[in-house]
Structure 1
């Protein structure tokens, strides 16, 4: 049975049982506790917590998941995957243990002809939480499960939570016995390789605190309703139904390995070490494609760093398998073909996904080249010291600063006859990981932190009136200061105000919050910020400027009209720029983030490479054409499926509800899902002036622009600046570019002439240095301080010229400069001197410590730099001594 069929059967089974089929959420959700969605229940968490009312009593989904804690284990074992699919059924207070067990048992054991999976009931085992005898009794009654195939386990195995404060509960896990060939008798408690877990039924009823019940700590509360959350591993079911040994041999992973075999010339199954690399390639290629599809781009932190690491592990593994050419395009193509039947976006968005992955591969191949050069330098230094071990700090620097994988460092060190201080490297890596964990822990916000708002959330959502009006009468539902409810706030006090209705926009969707006021007789409260809690409660943050405000007061809430006008210009301008980008660059210019505020917009989009001057001009022109067309701006609410059918653009990573708001500007010109405030006609945006374009990460570019009066003020300032330049050059404004170009050319000519004169002066001193060569043994040695101010490039030219003037006798040139407190140096050794055993790199070791310098190179030429000019004379003396030792 193919994996796509396994998914479909699961969903159909639960739809027939009255569940609403819900599409997989993006791998990226706005959850402060999660880097990626790692379980099927994540998108439903607000329903379990009672923060939002579920639109259906029961649901089913197959959720895309990524777990990153075991990246280093991927490939080493056949059980770990970074990306996997979790099929689940969910009840939001509708049914509990009995029906959940019945649904699962029916699907697992029903024949394949009847739409089930057809597992032999006699090979099914289950586990239950040690203090949940009810679950065991239900398994016996519903499934006829004999008591000897039901095992009780503690919280470590049979209590489920997300690893952070939030919902959880005891669980019952379903296992399949693969038979004696896979391990010993005794059920899951004896051997989880033979008895493999396929489904986990979580009886979600608790709220866990900072400490998990998995470690024996009691829950801190009870959920408003008893719920069901289950997770069935699609890949594991596929492994069993397809009769293969592990998930890497199933229909959605084995073809990726086959492609890797073609690209590398190696065979899977022939060598254990190679097999690890093949599995890394298969897992990471699929995970990377799914992450890029959901809007992640390679970067140096957070989600971007995880993706970068996955992609670089693919490149590294392919190289270790013998691949000499890039491999990413072929691998991503295979992944797309395999996964598109269940995830069509991998096909429709293939070019962008491929571009991002190939771009990172290209960059990393350059990194490998740079790292190899630095590795060679480290090897030279280690050998010069008479050591055979590369320090762990050097390996860590190569890995952490230059992205050079430790596996390659180990392999290349062995080829050079050296070892690596792996213990030192691992220690530094552990320190770095701990710092990252401490930082992540400091930034996490537990769901329990929202407890002060829970009563207010339960009352219902704040009614947002700001689409229709800027001033609304409202009732003060609550006041908070420093996270605590207070009955009254007085003059000068900073306070959070929750109203039953509000015209002030709460920050979201890239649009910053409105500024405004809350007033009543004798009261004026300045509102500086508005934030959403649980996506439904408006929290107005501000300062009481006059009088006092009391819970229960009837007040007037007003958004600042000027602020709102500028904000709508910025947000509508963002939509215009997005539309223009797609017209000029094509559909692969996909939004990756935005910020808009009065008079200003910032827009990030997926794109490889800098935009040309013409492209920037075209984007600005198309945007302003749309402004000049005075397009009507229409907004309407529809269901998500219909909005996508109409062509409305959605933001990657955003978790949309079943109903969405569509903002349409000029019909086909721009149509996006958006909850922000907008102008009524595009002409109200005013002129759009692009300020610039730059990279903000691998594969992500950013444009910034002014709109409205801010655009006019910017252009006026630029015009004044141009007029000043024209006046200084004494030419009309339209001739300034040509005049500046003439001056630049003249400057270039002058600089070239200066460079020629300076080079001639440097070379003129070569004869003098050569004449002063001293004989040390059988070697002519020039060891001298170079003229002040000479940098590394000139120093190399001078040393090469001096070496040539020493003739056919063994000759060595060592020049140490002094430029701006730095000590650049060059060592040049001719062929006769090399034959005597004098090597440039060896000489660096003799004077390098004295000038706090390091460097390296080849036997005939080495160079580098130091930072202590006071050691120059001592360094030159050390060179003379070392040459004397080597040359007799």
Structure 2
């Protein structure tokens, strides 16, 4: 049974039993603590925990998931994978254990011709929590499972909670017996490795309120929940390989085609390592390729683009591991153009949007592969230097700093560095590398957390939300509200309730607010809070937890306490300028798509009053004409004064309406659609906007640049900032015309002529310098001295950079007799820096001399370092006064090496 068919049967089964079919949420998680959606229940957490009322009593979904904690293990076993799909059914205070058992059993063991999955009931086992007699009885009574195939396990295996105070409860796992060839009999209790008895479905029964949660197995049960919930998860890939009669997830219909194509490209046969160690390593690499190509396809499909941090770094790492694995399999040519279409064809039966959006997806992936191929070329040079230095030092181990530099500067995943190091017979200080990575991640997380909550424990906000409910948010309706302070949450205070006085910066939660909280690329509003005897400046507004708005304020006068009645007022000019920028972003996005085509989709944006930037999928820099056309189309839309409107609808309705959902954003069931000129610009957006496009005012593009492979960025200013920008350009042109004594319309020709003349002068100077160097080469060669039978040339020509000095050294070496060992050591001071070059002829190398040794000796007196090969080495220093001593030290190194 094909994977897409299993998926369809699962959804239809639960839809027929009254469940609302909920489309898969994006792989980009709405939870700020998660990079990706890691489980099928993640989109339903607000309903399961009671933070939000569920819009339906029961639901079902097939959720796309990515887990990346054990990327290094992918391929080494047949269990680990990064992308997977989780089938789930959910009940929010509706049916409970008996219903969950009945629904699951009917689907698993139902006849194939009746829409079931057709598993043999006699090969099914279940586990329940130790004292969960209710679940055990349901399995025995409803499913007819014999008591010996209902096993009881403890909290480690059969109890679920979030890891924080809140709902939890026992769970029941469903297992399939794969047969005696996979291990001994006795059920899951005996098969701790999980090879014979394979878990395929977990039913979680949320029935208790938990507190004092200390670990997976240590917590306190307060009592029963007023509404009991069901949350289940069936691993689609696991069910697929059981029903398709293959051994593991890599051999199912959605993954195996990529694996086979990779094997064909490499000219090998996938055999699961059955014919020896070499075959096992080969199979690991093929599995890495199959998994990572599919994961990359799905992540790019959901709008993730390669980058150096967060989700972008994970995607980059996956793609680069796939490319590197193919290279290790002997394929030097670009491989993603061969593999990605195969994955698309395998997955598009379940996700047809992969086919319709493949032009954008493939452009991002192929650009990343090309960038990595260039990275391998440049980064390998740094790697080789590090390996050479490590071996020379007698400690064949790369430091954590060196590994981190390869990662941070060249984007080498640590596993790539480890593989390359192993090939060279050296090790890597992984602990040092991971410590540096942890420091970087901790800084990033601290920055992000501080932005949302300051130094306040998020639990303080959750308590306010639980006590008072969500903020009455009025940003779309008004710039002014009469409000009451629900909490003054002081920076650095976990429990955080104390009055704030003049000069204090604190966070304030109000019962209602007109302030826009930063989101969707739009910065927060600015404004003022005023109360009897006091005033505070609003400097930031965030949503530390869903449903709650927190204002960071600076107290200007008076004292602010909980319960205070006040007036909240947004700065009108600030809001208008922010609206101009956000509406301008929509206009520029529509103009990009009109000029470049529908594949120029927005992948990120940032708006502040008067300024906008927009990232979009595109290969290569825009031409001058394209930039002019985009600006013209955008300003024509501004002049047309298109109506700007916003309406609420369900996500499927918005998609059918033609609204663009922006990548990287997450959406609820109800979404807000903003239109500018009707269908001309129709996007899902939660930001604030002008009432008509003419309010945007002047719109001027100020920049266009690359922000990564397959992604470009345009920047623009709008409104008064747009006018001021153009006025500054006008003044600049006027000043240049006066300075160059040229009419304004002749400036380009005048400047072009000056640049041409400067280039001619540069070439003349370069020719003169080359002639001088040529003459100097003859003089230097003639000055060679004998040091232990070696012709040694030293010199310190002034004003040469590293490249020029190297050319001179090689020229001098070429003028010396080839049959006699010769060493050339030159140093030059330029701009307060020292360049050093050592060049040896083949006879000197054959005698055992090394350019590296000579350069190392010469580097110390000038405070420098360097390296290279045995015949040519190059370096630099910071102390020009040490040049004479450096040349002498180099001569001494030759003398020592020759035994003089």
TM, length-normalised to structure 2: 0.90
Answer yes or no: is the 8 Å Cα contact 1:461–1:537 preserved in 2: yes
Number of the residue aligned with 1:174: 174
> What SS class does the counterpart of residue 488 from structure 2 fall into?
strand
Structure 1 stretch displaced more, 770-779 or 685-694: 770-779
Inter-CA distance 153–649: structure 2 relative to 1 (3 Å threshold): same
Number of the residue aligned with 2:89: 89
> What SS class does the counterpart of residue 63 from structure 2 fall into?
strand
CA RMSD of aligned residues (A): 3.1
Deviation by residue 1:585-604 (Cα, 9 ceiling, x = unmatched): 22222212222232222222
Distance 2:395 2:544 in 1: 59
Number of the residue aligned with 2:59: 59
Distance 1:408 1:654 in 2: 31
Matches within 5 A, 1:39-54: 39-54=39-54
Compute the displacement of 1:789 (Å): 3.0
Inter-CA distance 177–763: structure 2 relative to 1 (3 Å threshold): same
Number of the residue aligned with 1:419: 425
Number of the residue aligned with 2:269: 267
Deviation by residue 1:39-94 (Cα, 9 ceiling, x = unmatched): 11111112223222221111110000000011010000000110000011111222
Distance 1:427 1:476 in 2: 51
Q: Give the counterpart of 2:760 among 732, 746, 749.
A: 749
> What SS class does the counterpart of residue 697 from structure 1 fall into?
coil
Number of the residue aligned with 2:781: 770
Answer yes or no: is the 8 Å Cα contact 1:213–1:219 preserved in 2: no
Deviation by residue 1:326-349 (Cα, 9 ceiling, x = unmatched): 101121111111111211221111
> What SS class does the counterpart of residue 228 from structure 1 fall into?
strand
Structure 1 stretch displaced more, 248-257 or 46-55: 46-55
Number of the residue aligned with 1:796: 806
**Are 2:305 and 1:297 equivalent residues in the alignment?**
yes
Structure 1 stretch displaced more, 624-633 or 807-816: 807-816
Higher relative contact order (CA 8 A, sep 6+): 1
Number of the residue aligned with 2:526: 515
Matches within 5 A, 1:21-32: 21-32=21-32
Q: Give the counterpart of 2:287 among 260, 279, 282.
A: 279
Number of the residue aligned with 1:654: 665
> What SS class does the counterpart of residue 30 from structure 2 fall into?
coil
Distance 1:407 1:572 in 2: 44
**Are 2:443 and 1:435 equivalent residues in the alignment?**
no
Distance 1:432 1:529 in 2: 31
Answer yes or no: is the 8 Å Cα contact 1:49–1:223 preserved in 2: no
Q: Give the counterpart of 1:239 among 221, 241, 249.
A: 241
Number of the residue aligned with 1:33: 33
Number of the residue aligned with 1:197: 199
Number of the residue aligned with 1:699: 710
**Are 2:797 and 1:787 equivalent residues in the alignment?**
yes
> Number of paired residues?
879
> What SS class does the counterpart of residue 780 from structure 1 fall into?
strand
Q: Give the counterpart of 1:759 among 763, 770, 777.
A: 770
Number of the residue aligned with 2:837: 826
Number of the residue aligned with 1:255: 257
**Are 2:402 and 1:377 equivalent residues in the alignment?**
no
Number of the residue aligned with 2:184: 184
Structure 1 stretch displaced more, 236-245 or 869-878: 869-878
Answer yes or no: is the 8 Å Cα contact 2:796–2:827 preserved in 1: yes
Number of the residue aligned with 1:639: 650
Number of the residue aligned with 2:600: 589
Deviation by residue 1:151-189 (Cα, 9 ceiling, x = unmatched): 222332223345677654332111111111001222213
Q: Give the counterpart of 2:585 among 574, 578, 595.
A: 574
Compute the displacement of 1:701 (Å): 2.4
Q: Give the counterpart of 2:687 among 661, 676, 689.
A: 676
Deviation by residue 1:225-261 (Cα, 9 ceiling, x = unmatched): 3211111000000011111111111111110101101
Compute the displacement of 1:108 (Å): 1.1
Distance 1:696 1:411 in 2: 29
Deviation by residue 1:70-128 (Cα, 9 ceiling, x = unmatched): 10100000001100000111112222222112211221111111111111122111122
Number of the residue aligned with 1:136: 136
Inter-CA distance 737–316: structure 2 relative to 1 (3 Å threshold): same
Structure 1 stretch displaced more, 449-458 or 43-52: 449-458
Inter-CA distance 693–222: structure 2 relative to 1 (3 Å threshold): farther
> What SS class does the counterpart of residue 410 from structure 2 fall into?
coil
Distance 1:785 1:158 in 2: 78
Structure 1 stretch displaced more, 675-684 or 218-227: 218-227
| 5+ long unaligned stretches in structure 1 | none
Inter-CA distance 841–461: structure 2 relative to 1 (3 Å threshold): closer
Compute the displacement of 1:456 (Å): 4.9
Inter-CA distance 297–120: structure 2 relative to 1 (3 Å threshold): same
Answer yes or no: is the 8 Å Cα contact 1:813–1:829 preserved in 2: yes
Structure 1 stretch displaced more, 222-231 or 766-775: 222-231
Number of the residue aligned with 2:570: 559
Distance 2:541 2:405 in 1: 44
> What SS class does the counterpart of residue 508 from structure 1 fall into?
coil
Distance 2:143 2:852 in 1: 76
Answer yes or no: is the 8 Å Cα contact 1:452–1:485 preserved in 2: no
Inter-CA distance 803–206: structure 2 relative to 1 (3 Å threshold): farther
Compute the displacement of 1:729 (Å): 0.9
Structure 1 stretch displaced more, 565-574 or 84-93: 565-574
Compute the displacement of 1:839 (Å): 4.4
Compute the displacement of 1:208 (Å): 6.5
Q: Give the counterpart of 1:335 among 330, 343, 366.
A: 343
Inter-CA distance 82–355: structure 2 relative to 1 (3 Å threshold): same
**Are 2:362 and 1:354 equivalent residues in the alignment?**
yes
Inter-CA distance 658–844: structure 2 relative to 1 (3 Å threshold): same
Distance 1:538 1:407 in 2: 42
**Are 2:467 and 1:462 equivalent residues in the alignment?**
no
